[in-house]
Amino acid sequence: MKMVFRWYGEGNDTVTLAQIRQIPGVSGIVWALHDVPAGEEWPIEKIMAVKKLADRYGFNVDVVESVNVHEDIKLGLKTRELYIENYKNTITKLARVGVKVICYNFMPVFDWTRTDMAKGLADGSTALFYENEKIKDMDPMELVKQIASNPDLTMPGWEPERLRHLNELFEAYKSVTDEDLWQNLKYFLEQIIPVAEANAIKMAIHPDDPPWPVFGLPRIITNHENLRRLLNLVDSPYNALTLCSGSLGANAENDVPGMVREFVDRIAFAHIRNVRRFDNGDFIETSHRSADGSLDIVEIMKAYHEGGFTGYVRPDHGRHIWGEKCRPGYGLYDRALGIMYLWGIWDTLEKRR
């Protein structure tokens, strides 16, 4: 496996490349042009600038997370043609700096959703939390207002640009069923996968987080059967997965090691994190350690190892520990601890081989 670390860019992240370089075994940064709105073509100069910076620290830029998909594509509107064209051009440009994997998602309107960015854990740290009842009763506009009024709450995927047209978007999605969303995803993939293939870039879809509908919006990348369906929409190794253990694992019915075993050849990118699930459907993100959460991270790593996984891995969200002020879930310390846990498991498995 190739270990990589998500980095939001200079001036946009509390973690520095100099710090990341001191985490053992990290070969690349997972990056994006966070200031380019979804649907627009990425400017080559900006892409080159990230590459130049990464080179200075000896990091590869193989994995991009994310090139966001414009809502018109998900909604299947006529205007999608322009945005698909832009997407294709971005893929081609990313190939010029050696990108190998593009992570994206197909969640309507919102990306990942939580109700509390800093819920206290018993050890005094804080972590991202999802409270089922709260979401059920919540007007999404309320959540958006909270986020807009508190810069510390910024979550990727909840960019102001995306949220500006929220009412219209909700209106537009009213008539979109799960099946429509599948059709729109198929249409998108049929157009972009040949371009990805020609550029040797794997398109790795991220599962929906949490893996169930929120605010009445459809969500389809949620379980084993649907991952299988996704891979069959376009049967190419370039139509691949970002298998996120924490997203899928929020639903106790999802057998994450089983998914890894079945799909390992089509997983381009592994997001690894643990979550503790509660009986009422709430969940909180924990340290990576198996004993701390509901997911057996050792078993998940074993499944990757047995499958001969050679793709990219990143520690996913971490807790906020040792007083660190950082983007929710994206501090330095707990993700670095997570990496050492993952390496510990992996190196032991390697030695036993």
Cis? peptide before 140, omega within 30° of 0: no
Task: Name which position in 39, 108, 156, 315 contacts ligand DNO (CB under 6 A).
Answer: 156
Distances from the Cα of 208 to the Cα of 194, 345, 350, angstroms: 24, 27, 32
Residue 108 binds ligand DNO, judged by CB under 6 A: no
Segment 25-84, which members bind ligand DNO (CB under 6 A)?
65-66
Binding map of ligand DNO across residues 230-269, x = CB under 6 A, - = no contact? ----------------------------------------
Q: Residue 30's beta-bridge partner residues? A: 6, 63
Q: Integer distance in angstroms from the first to the last C-alpha of the chain?
A: 15
Judge whether 271 counts as a catalytic residue. yes
Closest C-alpha to 86, from 65, 69, 105, 100: 69
For residue 105, the minimal CB distance to ligand DNO (Å) is: 4
b/e for 292-317, b at 16 or more Cβ within 10 A? Answer: bbbbbbbebbbbbbebebebbbbbbb
Task: Name which position in 19, 44, 46, 111 contacts ligand DNO (CB under 6 A).
Answer: 111
Judge whether 330 counts as a catalytic residue. yes
Binding map of ligand DNO across residues 189-218, x = CB under 6 A, - = no contact? -----------------x------------
Binding map of ligand DNO across residues 300-319, x = CB under 6 A, - = no contact? -----------------x--
Residue 110 binds ligand DNO, judged by CB under 6 A: no
Task: Name which position in 112, 263, 283, 341 contacts ligand DNO (CB under 6 A).
Answer: 112
Chain position whose Cβ is nearest to ligand DNO: 66
Nearer to ligand DNO, 125 or 242 (CB): 242
Residue 90 binds ligand DNO, judged by CB under 6 A: no
Residue 220 binds ligand DNO, judged by CB under 6 A: no
Residue 159 binds ligand DNO, judged by CB under 6 A: no
Nearer to ligand DNO, 199 or 245 (CB): 245
Judge whether 206 counts as a catalytic residue. yes
Distance from the Cα of residue 353 to its chain's centroid: 31
**The dihedral sign for the CA sequence 38, 163, 210, 217:** negative
Binding residues for ligand DNO, rule CB under 6 A, total: 13
The one catalytic residue among 8, 70, 87, 206: 206
Task: Name which position in 105, 223, 254, 274 contacts ligand DNO (CB under 6 A).
Answer: 105
Contact 248, 274 (CB under 8 A): no
Task: Name which position in 39, 108, 140, 157 contacts ligand DNO (CB under 6 A).
Answer: 157
The one catalytic residue among 70, 288, 305, 317: 317
Judge whether 224 counts as a catalytic residue. no
For residue 226, the minimal CB distance to ligand DNO (Å) is: 16
Residue 320 binds ligand DNO, judged by CB under 6 A: no
Residue 285 binds ligand DNO, judged by CB under 6 A: no
As annotated, the active-site residues are: 206, 244, 271, 316-317, 330
Q: Give the binding site for ligand DNO (CB under 6 A).
A: 65-66, 103-105, 111-112, 156-157, 206, 271, 317, 329
